[in-house]
Amino acid sequence: MNTKNLPNLDASVMAALNFFIKNPPVHLQLQKFKFPLVVGSGNAYHTAQALFAKRPAVIANESSFAQIIKNYQKSIKNKNIDQALIISASGEKDSVWELQLAKKYKLKTTLLTCSPNSPAAQIADQVFAYQKVPEPYTYNISTYLGMFLSSSTEKAQDIKIFIEKLTLPRLLRDYKNYLAYTFILPDKFEAIVEMLRIKKDELFGPYLSIRAFTFGEARHAKFVHPWKKELVISFGENKYFGNPSSRWEIVVPSSATYALMMAASYYLVGKIQAVKTPYFKRHLAKFCKEGVRPYGQKKPFPIIVN
């Protein structure tokens, strides 16, 4: 496959929104999970943080789950914790052993996935299956955007309208005029900050500086070195951070949830991707062919994930 023709992140964001406009995800009733153990890897972990940002839960990743479930075995024995929610778009990798371990502790297991026929789906007591669109490996836009939409009242159409109005102010000229980029998000969207950091690693690795902070985190000496070549994009008023001539303040509706913040910030990362050297497109095929393999499989990761 010619990876030069892969879409940039912004195009994939719009494709995902168009899909969900026509195919709204099923509603996820989080109130049914009283005090669960919630487990995810990578962006699935941050999706867990976002979904349960306002609800009691114990959240773990593939590195901490075995120890955390052991730490809470008394609460599990006393039935204070009786559910485990595993988030895995693929339904493979770590989710299989995580479900097996949860069942060993006699927890009721639920899987959020985009792969209803996956090995993990065969193990879970309950499966919430989400639809997605084909995307380049690692993009994972529709996978987690669908989960965010399913747990909120936001509509994909409204998010699309908001994004279509995101035009770089004329005084800031063009994305390509900058050598570094920083996103600042409201504190309540900390999980999206972490997802942006992952996206920077996936798309640009060591080749380009893209930072992301919450407003609270930004206060801690992150901008000792203001630079006119760093574009600082804030979702909210920015009085202090970055060179004043290189700040872009984006007004966000008070009703915004994780779905809008993920889609909008990813879209802007895609705009940056479009004007920079296509590192991701150059290196993805080799990574998929020669890099790490999915757990328990010999075949490589696909370049396009269906």
Using an 8 Å Cβ cutoff, are 86 and 107 in contact?
no
- β-strands 37-40, 83-87: how paired? parallel
Using an 8 Å Cβ cutoff, are 213 and 232 in contact?
no
Q: What is the number of helices (H) and of strands (E) in the chain? A: 11, 11
SS3 243: coil
Distances (CA, A) of 174 to 57, 84, 162, 177: 43, 46, 20, 6
> pTM for the full model?
0.94
Q: pLDDT digit string (tens) for 266-294?
A: 999 999 999 999 999 999 999 998 877 76
Distances (CA, A) of 37 to 178, 228, 285: 43, 45, 36
- At 292 the pLDDT is 75
Q: pLDDT digit string (tens) for 210-231?
A: 999 999 999 999 999 999 999 9
92 residue type, one letter:
E
Question: How many other β-carbons are positioned within 10 Å of the β-carbon of residue 171?
Answer: 8
Structure tokens at 171: 């005084």
The number of residues in the chain equals: 306
- Phi and psi, residue 272, nearest 5°: -70, -45
- At 295 the pLDDT is 61
Using an 8 Å Cβ cutoff, are 91 and 109 in contact?
no
- At 192 the pLDDT is 97
Q: pLDDT digit string (tens) for 127-185?
A: 999 999 999 999 999 999 999 999 998 999 999 999 999 999 999 999 999 999 999 99
- β-strands 83-87, 126-129: how paired? unpaired
3-state helix, strand, coil in the chain (%, to 5): 45, 15, 40
* Residues 6 or more apart in contact with residue 286 via CB below 8 angstroms: none
Nearest to 34 by CA among 127, 110, 88, 101: 110
* Residues 6 or more apart in contact with residue 253 via CB below 8 angstroms: 162, 260
Q: How far apart are CA 213 and CA 222, in angstroms?
A: 9
Per-residue DSSP letters for 179-221?
Answer: SEEEEEE-GGGHHHHHHHHHHHHHHHTTSSEEEEEEHHHHTTT
Q: Which domains does the chain have, with CATH numbers?
A: 3-150 (3.40.50.10490), 168-282 (3.40.50)
Q: What percent of the chain has pLDDT over 70?
A: 98
- Reported as a pLDDT band with limits 50, 70 and 90, residue 1 is low
